[in-house]
Structure formats: structure tokens, C-alpha cells
Structure 1
Amino acid sequence: MASQARLLNLIGHIDNSKDTWRIKVRVARLYEVPSWNNPKEICRIEMILLDEKNDKIQASVKDKLIRVYRPLIHEGELYTISNFLVLENNDKLKTCKNKWKINFHRNTSVKDCPPIGIDKFGFEMVSFQNIFDQLPLPNVFIDIIGCLKGKSPVEIVRDEDGKTTKKMTIKLRDENSLILEVLLWGDYVDLLLNYVDSHPEKRVVVIVQFAKLKYFNRIPYVSNSFYATKLLLNKNCEATTSFLERYGDTDDDAYLLEEIAVGRSLSIQEEFLSLTKRVQIADIVAIKEPCFCVVVGTIKRVETQHDWFYSSCKLCATEVTMNDNGTFYCFKCKKTVKFVSTRYKVVFKVEDDSGSASLLMFCREMIQLIQKTAVDLRETLIKNGEDGLFPIEFDDLLEKQFLFKLNISEYNLSKNYKVYTVSRITDDPELLSAHFALLQTQELYNVSDAATATAGTSQTISFINENESVSVIGDNREMNSSDACNITPSKRGIEEVVPGELYILGEEGQSSAIRPRIVVKVEKDV
């Protein structure tokens, strides 16, 4: 008597109780992740698997098995997969909502299967209204759809090694006339522009799948990830058809795109003049809860009792400790690292009419001001036999006035630590003049209300710069990737360590290190 065929399992039933699951799935997304210390070497393959119930699960193939499984698996195809490890998904950012993820091992079976009722895309569209209501989980990738209504000029962003990438903000409109902004990086910029330029009189419906949801002063926006995100332009699919039916024909000028301003844009003005409260330096010590605030002050001196740089893990930018054998240990990554980066960590004494404070600036702000990396300055000092001294370039900042956006952190308050992190800086004369004018016409921020941190915000802003603060000394000392840009006004761009992303911060200590070219999955129909 023939043995009964093994039953198929649904993704929703999978847990870590056994390793003998058997699933029929479509590979909704497949991407290769380069090694952080050798961009030409693939360290793993990531997949997002989809079943007939539209449930998803993340799956990984580690480096030693890539040569076995890469020829067998292709994006969009259907497979029966059995015998795999099931682990809890503890990633900071998740490609899907599933609590579990799959790891292939050498006995994992992958077999082609005939067409069955599994959707090609598995969209789980999140409405703009739900995004503005902050209903989606912020640590899970989302899918959105909207009609392209505006785009900013392309900006060229440099990292600490001088490598450049492109970024651009676009505006999407939904069927309820809500506007959501999307920040595109790298090849995503070129691919969208190429399509728009070749279809100048065509309405463009944009689907961004597996996108990151972020917040700027509590205002949501969406950004692509390095590898996981799919960009679909006027895709011939049910999602596009359904959206256009809801959208209707009332938007007669749908193909006319608004030009979103960059540089001294409304978002920068709002951030320094209205969305973040103003205080005098002497009032900072009265703040009782974590918040952001803006002060204007003059840099008086460098506080040389603090180091001006630190050695960091190249993967997460956290400060490392040196082992007895000369290697380094990263407590955040929980492993020994062979190579480290040199990064800025400079404390300045800043004064206004009310008093003075110690303000800490990391790489992003220092590169804006100095236009040189920490590695550049340290190499010069060593070459001149001055290692151990502070760079003379810091003297050029003395007696100059800036607007500082400060992060008053929980660490500052709980430890009574009076060195405050600068999360943004500008010397824009118009912003400085407007700041002083506001001080003359209205009372300063009531520090007892500092817990509110920001003023009321609208549902859309002209967002050009991403905003997440670095931690103060004593925290993880984690810093995000930098935009080395002109000081007026300030700009920053960030990435987060997420599934499917290579996240290299400051490959300064290794001249051969190259940031990998971003490989983008784009599907478009003319």
C-alpha cells in the first residue's frame, strides 16, 4: 500500500515546535545581501515567501549554502519547501509581520510545483489615513499605493568616505486626496525618473512594496530599503486597477508634477522655528522629560577633557573596546571585529546670553562644519607627528553662531549628564534672523511643558531630510550614516540596519572598502 503523501502546512501554522514543515509558496521577493567587509561577496540570500492565505514569512540562505540553493530558487516562482529551521524573528525591522522566520540547512528540500492559487504579489496595502493615524507597526515593512503628484530635485549625498548616492523626495496622493511623502535612495531615483521622463503625459501610479515607515517630528513618511523594497510603476495588476477605480477622473492634471523645494525648504523652517520648541541655554537644566529643543549659541572652545574621536564597529557604529590581543569587541553586535572606523565625537562649549552648555557633535554635524572626515584629520596629525593633539581645523569654528537642535535624552536626565547631543545644526542667516524675531515677539518656551517636545503638525510636510538623533555619551553611541553637505542649511540622511540591507557606516579605516551598488527590483508596464 502506497504511503500517504505528507500534508502541506500553511505559513500561519508554522512555529519552532519542529523542523519538518512542508509548505507551498511563491517567492514574492528574493535579494542578495553583500558581506559588510567585502561588497563583492554575497553573505546571504533573503526571501519573502507567500502562501495561498496571503501570509508571509522571511527565509534566509546563509553563505555556505548559497551555491546550493541560488540556482534552484527564482523570484516569482512557486515551490514546495520542506525541512527547515524555524527561528523567532528578532530583527529590529521585519520584512513581514510573522513572528517566525525560516533558515535553510543542508537537508532543506526545494521542489518546483505546478501553478496553484497563490497571488503574484501578496500586497497588504496600508491606507494613508491609517499611516497618519499611526496604526501600522513602525518596525514592519509596509505596502502603499498612490498617484505621483510631485518630486524634488535630485540631491547628491556623500558619506564619510566621500562615496555618493542619490536621494529624492516624491509626493503620492491617494483616493481621499491625502498626500504622503516617500524618500527614494540610490537606483530607485534613476528608475523613477527614467519612467517619468519617458511618459511625460501619463498618470503614474506608484506602488512601493516592503517599504520602511518612519517619522519626522511625528509626521510619517516612507522610505525604500536598500534591497527588500520593490518599486512598481503603472503595474498592470489588480491593485492598480482597483486604485484607479477609487481614484476616479477628478484629477485632470494628474501627469503635471509639483516641484518639491529643497535647500531652505519649509520643513527646515518648521523644524527650527515652529515644530521644535525654543529655549535659552540656561533653561535646559530645568527640562524634566526627554525632548528636542532649539537653542542659538556661539561656539567658544573645544572641551579637550573629552576625546575628539572614537573607534567604532563598522557595522553598527557603536564604540568598541580593545581586547588584549589587539582585536576589538562590539557589545552591540556581540562579537569580535577585525576592522574599526574612526568617528567624530567632539564636545564644544557653547554660550548664549543666559549661560553656557557642553554640546556633543558626531560625524554628520562635524563633516558639515569641517568638510573633512575624522580619518582625514587623524591621518594629518599622525603624519605631522601630532597624534594626541586636537585638529587645528576645530579653531575655525570658534566665535561662530549657530542654531542647534538638541536631543535631551533619558540618559541626560536620569544620570544628570550635562553634555547634550546636537541632532541638527545650521547657520542659515534667514533662520537665525527669524529665530531672534520670534524671541522678540513672543515668550520663550515654557520649560515646564517641555515633555510635549513638538508643536502640532499637519498631515504633510515638504520633507527632504530624515531625522533620528544620535545618542549622548554614555548611551550606545550609535550614529546613523551621514550626509556631508553644505552647512547652510543642514541636511541628513539615515539608514537603519534591517533585514535585507547591508549597513556600512564610515568605511574610513579601510581604503579598499567600497559601498556596494544598490540592486533594485523594479517592475513597470508601459
Structure 2
Amino acid sequence: MPSQYILASQITPLHTRRAVRVHLVRTYEVPELRGGITSKSKECLFHDEEGTYIHATIPKEDVFKYRSLLIEGKVYSVKNFLVVTNYYTYKTSHHKYIIKFNYKTSVKENTQDKHLKCTIWDDHVAAMVPFFNSIQEEPLIVLIQMCRAKVVNAGCNKKLKSDDKGLLFCEKCKRKWQKGVVRYKVVVRVADAHSDAPFLMWDRECSELLGMPAAELIGNYNEEKDEVPTELETMIGKAMVFKVNIKKENKHIYGSAFTVMRVLRDDSIVTAYCSSLAPDQERDLISKMIEECSDDDSDMEASQGDEVNSPNTACKEIQQEGDNQFSPLTKRCLLDQFSSTHNLKKGKLDSIKKEKIN
């Protein structure tokens, strides 16, 4: 039985049910009018494993179907196509025939040649260097555990906006969508023993804390009602350790939220670094802060002109207390706790090497 795939040099008008495995070199759309936005056709230039080039054309009615599928540099398997004489005046190949797509044409990306990109850190780098310098010809099999997978090239993550026709439009990739992906964007008020600040948590952190994706949460509520879901309120009063990103606007714009990079809720970590946030407190910190503010106002009214401390002086005292609590060694320990390879490291805290932190 002959193979399903044939070479580009073997293509003839009789091959209507055979397939080719080709590499997309160039693709472009031909507008109906000069400067117009409507496409007349989509043209593609392929070549096979022997280096034979062949042109392919996609008619107007199927351009939208293959617009996001065909990407230059990738390998595709094309099946159920028509083969016609190369009648173009300006030819991109010397092949006698061209491929013409129709409604039966099937195009699938060849995943056999895909590469998986992996970023390794710390001690794992030293373990991988000998294999890069090795001259062995046999394939190297690597077993990866405890890693974090990330989806790439699956579309952008920008916020979609509605147009006049009710469709969702992305200003970055200039594409329209009938339905988008619901993600978390939650601003919370976080307080410690000295002060409070707004924190911005995105999809990953909220999904880990709540145990459900945003799409599942929004399905339990009516979109027309402006209410805070009960699941989000369960985070109130919980002690956590946050790793945040401090931007320029956080230093100059009062009230701007700090972006949360990661959240730790391990009881031993919270107890070690946030002993004042123990769960056996009778009242949460925000309530105590409100009561302390009320007491301060009462004391100021009762003083009747007595000298009071400057707010700047009070802020400096709080800052000094915070600086004393978090020594350089404590900050180094927190960085290790947030590190993805913390559990793989060996050694004690007293043997930590000095290093420069930007």
C-alpha cells in the first residue's frame, strides 16, 4: 500500500486524496482593492524535505479559517486539496502545479519537531553543564519533576473590549472574539502590625487561594448584580506572607496597589516571620487599627491644646520598628522561601553566602 504522504515533486492533478508534509516559508494576503481591508485570497509558499518549492492559494471564503492557523516557519500536513496548473503571471516557484485549498482541505500542524523550552535555576544549572559539553551522539533523556508549566503562543492575555456589534475586540492582536477567558483581578486591603496597603492579586494567586478558577466562580452568580462573592470574603482575616513587586508609581502615587507576585500560607512560615499575626488573636488587625485611630482622636480632643506628636515622627518610629524586625538575614530567608528551588537546597541558614541583591 503506498504511503499517504507524497513529495512536492510528485504532486499531479490526480492526487486529490493524498497528503503532503511541507514547511511554510512565506504567507501573505492579497486585498481585493489597493489599500482595502477585504482579502481576495491568501497565498502560501511551501517546501518539502527535498527542498522542492510549491505555491498554494486559499480562496476568499476560507481566508479567515486559515488566517491564524498558518504561521511562517512551522511544518504542516495538508490533505484533500486540488492540484491545478500554475497559471500565475508572477510565480513564486518553478513548479508546474499549484495547490488550491477547498472546503474539504485539512491542515494540521506537525508536532513531531516541536521543542520544549525549560528554564533551570541555581544548582540545576551546574548539573546540566556537563551534558552540554558532552560529544555523545545518543539522545539525552531528561526527567523533569516539580516544575511549573506555562502556556505560550496561545493568544495574548490583554483585556477585551466590546464593540458596537457586541463582539469582544483585542487592541493588541487586532482580533475579534465571541467569548473571552474570565480571569481574576482582585484588589485587597492587607494589614500587618504597623500599617496597611492595597494589594493587587491576579488569576494565579486567587485561583490557588480560592481553589477554583474565575470561570467557575462567576457561573455561581448573576452578572447583573454588583456584589462581592462569598468565596472572596473567605480570605478576610487570614494570615499570609506576600511577595510583591514595587513599581515607580507605588512610590509617587498614594494609594496605588502593589502587584502580588506570590503568596505563602504555610503555618510555619507565617509563625516564623509574622508572629504578631497569630490566628488566636481575638480581633483582626484592621478592626484594632480602627479602634486605635478612634482612641487617638479621643485623646487629642481631651488634651485641649497639649502638644501632640507629629505624624511624620510616628511614621518614622513605625518604620524603624519594621526595619529592626526584618534584618538582612530575615529578608534573605524570605527570598529563599519564595524560591522555587528552596526545597531542593541543602544547608543551614548560618552558612548562607553573601551576595548582592539588586
Structure-1-length-normalised TM-score: 0.31
The higher relative CO (CA closer than 8 Å, separation ≥ 6) is in: 1
Structure-2-length-normalised TM-score: 0.43
Q: Which has the larger radius of gyration?
A: 2
User: Is the helix fraction higher in 1 or 2?
Assistant: 2
User: Is the strand fraction higher in 1 or 2?
Assistant: 1
